[in-house]
């Protein structure tokens, strides 16, 4: 059989290029040729050994664009030559969540690059029902739709509305996409982070303000100054640390909404009565839904979000180890 190359993380801190067999076409599937793949925070966590859902060895990657090179007969319009992206969250279809249509939080969820091998191979096989037409979006922008979906789904979980004051804690890729999604909904959006560089990028993308603070008191003062002492209507945690979750609880208005999209391993000694005192709504946000992909492909095509600004660098497959090493501490 024809062979191909794959990027593999055999153990934390190590990246290899492995020779694999190219997948064969099977019923209900299509063979995709990878065009661009983004290194997600979870991929970097797998590399560093800090990602909650990581196991080894693992082919990383779940945000990507690809060309359809073969496709089994289907009535979804998926055919060779199409430039596409795909939904990488595999659900069981049998658990209570799946039966209620909440497939993004399947109790046996397997996300590509996390609980199962991912997209960082020259060719992959995907079920046709998971494949979405890019509708002419450039392949590099199309690879950014999946991480945009993660932030956008968190915005939807928090029921962000026009006029809401929203704080996104964390100016990495997912936090940046959450900020974009909240701006699309007409909110006033602020971003908090320790990195002056990342906050500078957030400003350049048109958010309404930033908070750069390394201590609790100055953070609370900045929140009070921005909100007139009222707190934010919605706070989105996009880091995955106990301290940043606490930031969101502290910054939320009475009867505010807090959305947790960051993933971490640490626990928090938390004065939970604050939830009752402030009558907060707390939401977890996991993965995304087909509708999120379809909505954002259209939104990016219509120029409602400048996703290209998220790209920091582009590497060929042969430089995979270098890519992970260079971004390990960002």
Share of the chain above pLDDT 70, in %: 99
Higher pLDDT, 55 or 99: 99
Vertex 192 angle, CA 323 and 176, to 5°? 50
Q: Kindly write down the DSSP assignment for every residue of 145-171, as one continuous string.
A: HHHHHHHHHHHHHTT--TT-EEEEE--
What is the residue-averaged pLDDT of the chain?
95
Of residues 41 and 111, more confidence is placed in 111
Instruction: Count the neighbouring beta carbons within 10 Å of the beta carbon of residue 19.
Output: 8
- Report d(CA 205, CA 97) in Å as an integer: 36
Q: Which residue has the higher pLDDT, 102 or 215?
A: 102
Residue in 227, 229, 232, 258 with CA at minimum distance from that of residue 245: 258
Alpha-carbon distance of 157 to 194, in angstroms, equals 25
Q: How would you classify the pairing of strands 165-169 and 232-237?
A: parallel
Question: Is the pLDDT confidence value at 166 over 70?
Answer: yes
pLDDT in tens, 222-276: 999 999 999 999 999 999 999 999 999 999 999 999 999 998 888 989 899 999 9
Q: Residue 111's Cα: distance from chain center in Å?
A: 12
Whether residue 199 is predicted with pLDDT greater than 80 in this model: the reply is yes
> Residues 146, 63: contact at Cβ < 8 Å?
yes
Q: What is the pLDDT of residue 165?
A: 98
What pLDDT digit, counting tens, does each position of 49-62 carry? Answer: 888 888 899 999 99
* Structure token digits, residue 11: 């153990």
Omega before 57 cis (within 30°)? yes
pTM over 0.85: yes
Residue 330 confidence (pLDDT) above 70: no
């Amino acid at each position: 059989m024809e062979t191909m190359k794959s990027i593999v993380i055999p153990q934390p801190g190590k990246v290899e290029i492995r020779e694999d067999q190219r997948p064969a076409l099977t019923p209900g599937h299509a063979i995709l040729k990878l065009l661009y793949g983004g290194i997600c925070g979870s991929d970097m966590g797998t590399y560093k050994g800090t990602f909650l859902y990581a196991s080894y060895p693992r082919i990383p990657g779940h945000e990507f664009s690809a060309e359809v090179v073969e496709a089994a007969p289907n009535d979804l319009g998926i055919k060779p030559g199409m430039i596409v992206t795909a939904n990488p969250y595999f659900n069981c279809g049998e658990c209570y969540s799946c039966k209620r249509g909440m497939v993004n939080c399947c109790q046996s969820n397997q996300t590509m690059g996390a609980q199962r091998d991912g997209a960082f191979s020259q060719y992959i096989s995907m079920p046709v029902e998971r494949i979405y037409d890019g509708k002419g979006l450039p392949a590099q922008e199309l690879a950014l739709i999946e991480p945009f979906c993660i932030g956008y789904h968190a915005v939807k979980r928090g029921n962000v509305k026009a006029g809401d004051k929203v704080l996104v804690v964390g100016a990495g890729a997912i936090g940046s996409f959450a900020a974009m999604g909240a701006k699309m909904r007409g909110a006033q959006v602020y971003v908090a982070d320790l990195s002056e560089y990342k906050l500078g990028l957030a400003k350049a993308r048109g958010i309404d303000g930033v908070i750069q603070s390394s201590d609790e008191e100055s953070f609370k003062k900045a929140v009070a100054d921005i909100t007139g002492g009222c707190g934010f209507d919605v706070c989105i945690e996009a880091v995955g640390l106990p301290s940043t979750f606490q930031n969101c609880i502290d910054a939320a208005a009475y009867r505010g909404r807090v959305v947790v999209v960051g993933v971490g391993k640490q626990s928090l000694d938390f004065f939970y009565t604050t939830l009752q005192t402030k009558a907060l709504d707390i939401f977890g946000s996991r993965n995304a839904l087909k509708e999120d992909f379809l909505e954002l492909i259209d939104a990016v095509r219509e120029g409602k979000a400048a996703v290209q600004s998220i790209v920091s660098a582009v590497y060929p497959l042969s430089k995979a180890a270098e890519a992970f090493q260079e971004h390990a501490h960002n």
